[in-house]
Amino acid sequence: MRDKVTNARRWVVKIGSALLTGDGRGLDKAAMAIWVEQLVGLRKAGAELVLVSSGAVAAGMSRLGWTERPKTIHELQAAAAIGQMGLVQAWESSFQQHGLATAQVLLTHDDLSDRKRYLNARSTLRALLDLGVIPVINENDTVVTDEIRFGDNDTLGALVTNLVEADLLVILTDKDGLYTADPGKYADAELIKQAMADDASLDAMAGGSAGALGRGGMLTKLRAARLAARSGAGTVIVGGRIDRVIERLQAGEELGTLLLPEKGMLAARKQWLAGHLQTRGRLMIDEGAVRALTSGRRSLLPVGVTALEGNFRRGEMVICIGPDGREVARGLVNYSAQDAEKILGQPTEAIARILGYIDEPEMLHRDNLVLV
């Protein structure tokens, strides 16, 4: 099943604080350059890439001369604000040497729990990928509070994997992978090369806490793999200090621990859409739109919508009703009810003229709807 790795077209790569800062000694720019060289190789092989980078707080701590991670929110925010400057500069400089542009994207849990902001973030990341830019994502520690923090960048990496519908999440850590027991305590501990992400027996093996710099441990990485599996993505937990680790993974070498989803990407995402969101409105669609959705597996365009009900916002779940009054599909709408009403029945090329802007050419994108 390592073809799940070699055939992945869209990768999310998360790199932990301990790796990026040399266990707290400051940003390890030499190591970053080595990872960038390998990530550039992925791009040249045709893969799309999103980088989730820890290290802002740890880099800030190093600049401030702190040896322990801050306990208070305001100190955490201050360290992140200081460290984020150097972190982004280091990534930008390293990728520029290979002729690639980067973009900083800072997220909080609120950004991905609010449906409108979720779609906005998704659209921005898709646009960056289409432009060939490398998004460098981190938690927005400078504004985060206890209520909205992700808690660790492993979780952030998994949520970003879901957001951009990536095929693979790679978590680079200071451990070689998930073992049957703590290899530092038990000489007979064995590396788990492959397992199903939802295997409950893995929990006991992943016990343990994070290091002094990070917030996540192996258990958070296992949980992240399970989150990523919800959209059908596989996860590799692997040692970031392994020589040419990304290059060797892409070549199919069995490094680290590969955790697989039970369902394929499409089935998992459709199940999530169908079962976890309340509906906020209804779109009445014509027979041509019904055929496009059911037979052609296509997106719903404004031209196929004849009427609407409800006061929904962009990013909320709506139901699509056919001419016979039966529900055909449901999905995340790209326009608010007020704007949708102005463009229903109109061709896509008229959206910008009518609204003065265009978010998406579709009323509902096929990736964000499910047939019922």
DSSP calls for 149-171: --SSHHHHHHHHHHHHT-SEEEE
192, 179 Cβ separation under 8 angstroms: yes
pLDDT score, position 38: 96
Per-residue pLDDT at 123 exceeds 70: yes
Assess whether 44 and 170 both reside in one domain.
yes
Whole-angstrom CA distances from 45 to 7, 52, 171 are: 11, 20, 20
pLDDT digits (tens, 9 = 90+) for 142-160: 776 654 456 578 888 998 9
73 in the same domain as 10? yes
Please indicate, yes or no, whether residues 149 and 289 belong to a single structural domain of this protein. Answer: no
pLDDT in tens, 275-307: 545 788 999 999 999 999 998 779 999 999 999
Domain for residue 306, yes or no? Answer: yes
In a domain, 348, yes or no: yes
Mean of the per-residue pLDDT values of the chain: 86
Let me know whether 116 and 164 are in one domain: yes
Q: What is the mean pLDDT of residues 3-30?
A: 87
pLDDT reading at 184 higher than 50: yes
Q: Which of 265, 300, 329 is the last residue of a domain?
A: 265
90, 234: one domain: yes
CB 74, CB 283: distance < 8 Å: no
The verdict on 214 and 133 lying in the same domain is: yes
Q: Are residues 234 and 328 in the same domain?
A: no
Report yes or no: 235 and 229 within 8 Å, Cβ to Cβ. yes
Closest CA to 153 of 113, 200, 106, 89: 106
pTM recorded for the entire structure: 0.75
Task: Check whether residue 230 and residue 127 sit in a common domain.
Answer: yes
CATH number of the domain enclosing 325: 2.30.130.10
Q: Which of 232, 265, 298 is the last residue of a domain?
A: 265
Domain shared by 206 and 80, yes or no: yes
Distances from the Cα of 117 to the Cα of 111, 121, 124, 276, 344, angstroms: 5, 6, 10, 17, 23
Final residue of a structural domain among 265, 287, 303: 265
d(CA 225, CA 202): 12
Domain-embedded: residue 270 = no
Please give the residue range of the domain that contains residue 134.
Answer: 3-265
**Of 35-44, 183-192, 207-216, the least confident:** 207-216
Is the same domain home to 208 and 147? Answer: yes
Could you tell me if 152 and 260 lie in one domain? yes
Position 52 scores a pLDDT of 95
CATH of the domain at 124: 3.40.1160.10
In a domain, 195, yes or no: yes
pLDDT at 272: 57
Tell me how many domains the chain contains.
2
One domain for residues 250 and 165: yes
Residue-level pLDDT at 271 = 59
The reply to whether 235 falls in a domain is: yes
User: Is 272 a member of any domain?
Assistant: no
* % pLDDT > 70, the chain: 89
Whether residue 271 is contained in a domain is answered as no
Q: Is the pLDDT of residue 106 over 70?
A: yes
Task: Answer yes or no: is 162 within a domain.
Answer: yes
